[in-house]
Amino acid sequence: MTTLFRSFFAASLLLVVLAPSAFAQITAEHEAAVDKLFAEWNKPDSPGAAVGIIRDGEFIFKKGYGSADLEHDVPITPKSVFYMASVSKQFVTMAILLLEEQGKLGLDDEIQKYFPDFPRYEGPLTIRNFIHHTSGVRDNLTLWQLSGKDVYDSIDADEMYQMIRRQKELNFKPGERYLYSNSCYFMLAEIVKKVSGKSIKEFAEEEMFKPLGMKNTHFHDDEYHIVKNRVFSYEPGKDGFRNLIMRYDLVGSGGLYSNVEDMLLWDRNFYDNKLGKGRQELIEKMQEDGRLNDGSSAEYAFGLQNGTHRGLRTVEHGGSLAGYRTFLIRYPEQRFSVIVLANLAGINPGGKAREIAEIFLKDEFKTEAPSGESSSGSTAKATVPAITLSADQLKKFEGHYWNRENSIFARIFSEGGKQYIERDGLPRTELTALSEKSLKLLFPRLDIVLTFGTGANKGFDEVINSREPLKFAAYEPATYTEKELEAMAGTYFSEEINAFYKLAMKDGKLTLYFNDSESGALEPVMKGLFKNENVGLFAIETNGKGQATGFSLDAGRVQNLKFKKQ
């Protein structure tokens, strides 16, 4: 460690030790408990995080852990400026609501009013659809990556817009369901510019950041803009950490830079609005969930997500890009908020924020901790109302399942006298029986129950933390001979992303190549459907002779993207 870093790091620690006297006091036990959550990163040769804990509009704790810049030994402090990723979205929706308050736009305006050349699909597309992610418009960052381009690089805004408008179909009819799409917020920022005559950077500075005194916050629409106290992002590497250098300067879906201290000012405004006409109705509206066509909740508000944590209402949002991981959660009735801004891929800021809340709000929670979680937030063996089933009864649950809407696959199996599930998005997890038709996952901090229909192998409904159920159907895995796979090899082209994909045999497997690089094997899932771990699901279409003619690709936020065999 350099002499400069030692003295700066020591000074930073001294300020943190002295800081509680300047704001609301917390106990030494509380402070030690928070420190423990970030202990593995609290060293000068590791990236880390900045943390802010707010009670009644004031910090009760703020501190940095680890390094903002490993090349120059710069420690993270509450003043360190992070790329905020999707936490940016709530600032874009505030801009839209301020323009609505000024009478310059309406939330039910069709998008084509501002983009006359944008395609018309089945059903109208509105600003409201874009805000609540109910538009069905394919995600621009996913499209960009599928086309073989780097999302960490500078991106021309018009080139990105042209890719979005080149899409021949939506993921679904507008308003039918929720599916997160960064395209929508990129275009909302462009609407701000078209309506106000100012870029989102200029509008936010004049209408939000200056009025609130947020001097370290800006929308970063110029890759050459120098950012004081900027934090750089990293990911784990074989020799320590790898620097994920980012020149990304597309704004709207992300693009905000800020720090813990400025986010206090933003959080404070939710209790006493100073923006626009100063009406609290603006804040109340911002926290209202959108609605689907059937009247049910889209479970997404205005760049914010409403939820609960052990019986307490929460308002939250997180973000990630490169190695940046950000999260802000508010407990409105307790006037309590937690900010976690990290610069290392692999840190879970949302999980850490909730663990912090477990420390400070443990006497205010209204329900017991979910299975696998102790009241302090640590992992514990679940205590659930389980029953014992026979081996034959448990065997009925076994099989392969998938959720078509979100392309999630699961397998239930028994091993060593216990039953497990392997599911996309979760590690292998033990199951316990609640009844002859329901199973519970023993997973920390999540309450997940699977309820099976008549004849267990016909599928199940998965409910996570009391949210709307995800429906899983059973399927039979498929196998293919090498000759059958060879018939699917060839070059395929997508007009919508202007990209060629090549399928070729390697080591007996159909393998994907694009951008002159191998991108992994296509593993058979079911008849006609293959899974590539790096890209998504490939539904290969064949003619009457069994020869492949094309495929459609589902890549999460981009669905049914068509490729034709050349």
pLDDT tens digits along 405-450: 888 999 999 999 899 999 988 899 999 999 999 999 987 767 899 9
What mean pLDDT do residues 253-273 have?
Answer: 98
| Model confidence at 17: pLDDT above 90 | no
- What pLDDT is stored for residue 466 in this prediction? 75
Q: What backbone phi and psi angles, to 5 degrees, belong to 248?
A: -60, 125
Q: In CATH, which of 2.40.128.50, 3.40.50.300, 3.90.1300.10, 3.40.50.720 is domain 482-565? A: 2.40.128.50
Residue 202, amino acid: E
**pLDDT band at 11; cut points 50, 70, 90:** very low
Task: Please choose, from the candidates 217, 241, 246, the residue with its C-alpha nearest in 3D space to the C-alpha of residue 229.
Answer: 217
| Model confidence at 84: pLDDT above 70 | yes
- What pLDDT is stored for residue 445 in this prediction? 67
Q: What does R_g of the chain's alpha carbons equal in angstroms?
A: 25
What mean pLDDT do residues 211-217 have?
Answer: 98
563 vs 377, more confident: 563
What mean pLDDT do residues 462-482 have?
Answer: 90
- What pLDDT is stored for residue 369 in this prediction? 65
What mean pLDDT do residues 462-476 have?
Answer: 88
What mean pLDDT do residues 262-280 have?
Answer: 98
Write down the pTM of the prediction: 0.88
- Distance, C-alpha 44 to centroid of its chain: 28
- Distance, C-alpha 457 to centroid of its chain: 31
What confidence tens digit (pLDDT) does each residue in 40-50 have? 999 999 999 99
Question: Rounded to an integer, what distance in angstroms lies between the CA atom of residue 379 and that of residue 373?
Answer: 5
Span(s) in the chain for CATH 3.40.710.10:
85-262+274-360
- What pLDDT is stored for residue 380 in this prediction? 36
Type and span of the H or E element at 315: strand 312-321
Question: Rounded to an integer, what distance in angstroms lies between the CA atom of residue 5 and that of residue 280?
Answer: 45
- What pLDDT is stored for residue 24 in this prediction? 54
What confidence tens digit (pLDDT) does each residue in 362-413 have? 999 988 765 444 433 333 334 457 889 998 899 999 999 999 888 899 999 9
Type and span of the H or E element at 94: helix 89-101
Question: Rounded to an integer, what distance in angstroms lies between the CA atom of residue 181 and that of residue 203?
Answer: 23
Average pLDDT of the chain, as a whole number: 91
Class of domain 85-262+274-360 (CATH, top level): alpha beta
Question: Rounded to an integer, what distance in angstroms lies between the CA atom of residue 499 and that of residue 381?
Answer: 49
What mean pLDDT do residues 222-246 have?
Answer: 95
Helix H, strand E, coil C: the string for 105-172 is CCCCCEHHHCCCCCCCCCCCCEHHHHHCCCCCCCCHHHHHHHCCCCCCCCCCHHHHHHHHHCCCCCCC
Span(s) in the chain for CATH 2.40.128.50:
391-475, 482-565
Domain 391-475 belongs to what topology? Lipocalin (2.40.128)
What confidence tens digit (pLDDT) does each residue in 497-512 have? 999 999 999 999 999 9
**What is the edge-to-edge ordering of all strands in the sheet holding 49-55?**
58-65, 49-55, 336-342, 324-331, 312-321, 305-309
- What pLDDT is stored for residue 363 in this prediction? 94
- What pLDDT is stored for residue 456 in this prediction? 56
What confidence tens digit (pLDDT) does each residue in 299-357 have? 999 999 999 999 999 999 999 999 999 999 999 999 999 999 999 999 999 999 999 99
